């Protein structure tokens, strides 16, 4: 029993949990910054800059705003960090050992992937700052807009294979090829999920809650020191975990046998580069424009993909 607990704790803290996801996420953040810089004809930071920034924030003082709910304010970044760590842990465990998949693990991952957004809403609301409350309100509206089409898109392959286990989705693709290359419904669902993922990551054109030019840092305006570092780390880890989620469901998963290792890295880099390109080639939307976009375009498109899956296309 103690051995199992130790192994579980090791998986959560080291690999494939917190440490592994944090390191790769910070490196992914560097790729984002470097590619963004090259697009803007700048040099960009060195590969270790995100690590330095994180350690610097961890060493600074935490300033608690007057009127803030202290416990809620300080616990919010921890909630988000734990949520995305568990998402990465489950996805990688299923990729390494598909037979260990359990019934409903896909639902668990979807639930946990919402926690970082909820953490931002909770933290901003607890800070007693009007700009933070405005940012939290925008985050909540955006969450209600993109989450439903995202869930429908993720469940589209489930209809095709008739199994709700992540391990079954991976096994099916190992035997039949990637979902989005063999099923039109999954291709449509992948497009919807990718756009929704851009909003979940809080990147342009959906960076409305933290619009620097309008409301400074939005929900994070009162955060400093280690709590701010944890929020920054959570965002970096999401830049790794969420693309892996899409690859797992739609693009054959992350595999580690022979040449599949290189192919898995290439798939992740392609998704990451697409995220950065979308971020750097689109203007920020207003919150009403974002809501209309998801409700009037992405939601119907997700429904079309789901119906096509029901008829076997």
pLDDT tens digits along 245-272: 999 999 988 887 778 889 999 999 999 9
Query: Is residue 61 included in any domain, yes or no?
Result: no
- Average pLDDT of span 73-98: 93
Q: Is the peptide bond before 16 cis (omega within 30 degrees of 0)?
A: yes
> pLDDT-derived band of residue 75, with 50, 70 and 90 as boundaries?
very high
Report the sign of the C-alpha dihedral through residues 93, 99, 101, 102, in that order.
negative
> pLDDT-derived band of residue 296, with 50, 70 and 90 as boundaries?
very high
Report d(CA 85, CA 17) in Å as an integer: 6
The total number of residues shown for the chain amounts to: 313
Which residues lie closer than 8 Å to 184 by C-beta, 6 or more apart?
305, 308, 313
Q: What is the pLDDT of residue 95?
A: 87
Q: What is the pLDDT of residue 16?
A: 83
Q: What is the pLDDT of residue 1?
A: 63
| Parent domain of 273 | 16-55+67-310
Query: Is residue 81 included in any domain, yes or no?
Result: yes
Nearest partner of 84 among 249, 275, 242, 204, judged by Cα: 242
- Average pLDDT of span 61-85: 92
> pLDDT-derived band of residue 15, with 50, 70 and 90 as boundaries?
confident
Query: Is residue 90 included in any domain, yes or no?
Result: yes
Residue 215: pLDDT over 80: no
Residue 202: pLDDT over 80: yes
Report d(CA 289, CA 206) in Å as an integer: 10
Long-range CB pairs of 40-46 (<8 Å, 24+ gap) are: 40/280
Nearest partner of 228 among 236, 138, 19, judged by Cα: 236
Total domains in the chain come to 1
Q: Could you tell me the CA-to-CA distances from 50 to 60, 148, 238, 253 in Å, in that order?
A: 16, 33, 15, 27
- What percent of the chain has pLDDT above 70? 99
> pLDDT-derived band of residue 282, with 50, 70 and 90 as boundaries?
very high
- Average pLDDT of span 188-211: 94
The pair phi, psi for residue 212, each rounded to 5°, is -60, -40
Query: Is residue 62 included in any domain, yes or no?
Result: no
Q: What is the pLDDT of residue 42?
A: 93
Query: Is residue 60 included in any domain, yes or no?
Result: no
* Cα of 110 vs its chain's centroid, Å: 10
Nearest partner of 313 among 157, 151, 149, judged by Cα: 157
> pLDDT-derived band of residue 118, with 50, 70 and 90 as boundaries?
very high
Which residues lie closer than 8 Å to 220 by C-beta, 6 or more apart?
120, 123, 124, 132, 135, 210, 228, 231
């Amino acid at each position: 029993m103690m051995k199992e607990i130790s192994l579980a704790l090791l998986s959560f803290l080291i690999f494939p949990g917190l440490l592994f996801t944090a390191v790769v996420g910070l490196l992914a953040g560097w790729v984002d910054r470097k590619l963004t810089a090259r697009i803007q004809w700048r040099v960009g930071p060195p590969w270790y800059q995100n690590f330095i920034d994180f350690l610097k924030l961890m060493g600074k003082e935490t300033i608690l705003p007057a009127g803030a709910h202290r416990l809620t304010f300080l616990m919010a970044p921890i909630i988000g960090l734990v949520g995305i760590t568990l998402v990465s842990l489950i996805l990688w465990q299923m990729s390494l050992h598909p037979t260990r998949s359990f019934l409903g693990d896909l639902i668990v991952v979807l639930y946990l992937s919402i926690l970082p957004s909820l953490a931002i809403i909770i933290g901003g609301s607890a800070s007693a700052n009007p700009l933070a409350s405005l940012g939290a309100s925008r985050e909540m509206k955006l969450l209600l807009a993109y989450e439903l089409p995202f869930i429908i898109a993720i469940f589209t392959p489930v209809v095709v294979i008739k199994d709700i286990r992540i391990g079954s989705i991976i096994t099916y693709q190992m035997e039949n090829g990637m979902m989005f290359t063999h099923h039109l419904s999954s291709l449509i669902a992948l497009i919807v999920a990718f756009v929704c993922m851009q909003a979940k990551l809080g990147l342009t054109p959906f960076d409305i809650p933290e619009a620097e030019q309008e409301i400074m840092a939005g929900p994070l305006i009162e955060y400093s020191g280690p709590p701010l570092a944890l929020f920054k780390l959570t965002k970096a880890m999401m830049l790794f975990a969420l693309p892996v989620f899409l690859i797992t469901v739609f693009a054959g998963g992350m595999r580690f046998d022979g040449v599949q290792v290189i192919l898995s890295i290439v798939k992740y880099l392609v998704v990451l580069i697409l995220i950065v390109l979308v971020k750097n080639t689109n203007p920020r939307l207003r919150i009403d424009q974002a809501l209309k976009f998801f409700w009037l375009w992405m939601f119907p498109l997700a429904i079309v993909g789901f119906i096509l899956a029901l008829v076997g296309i």
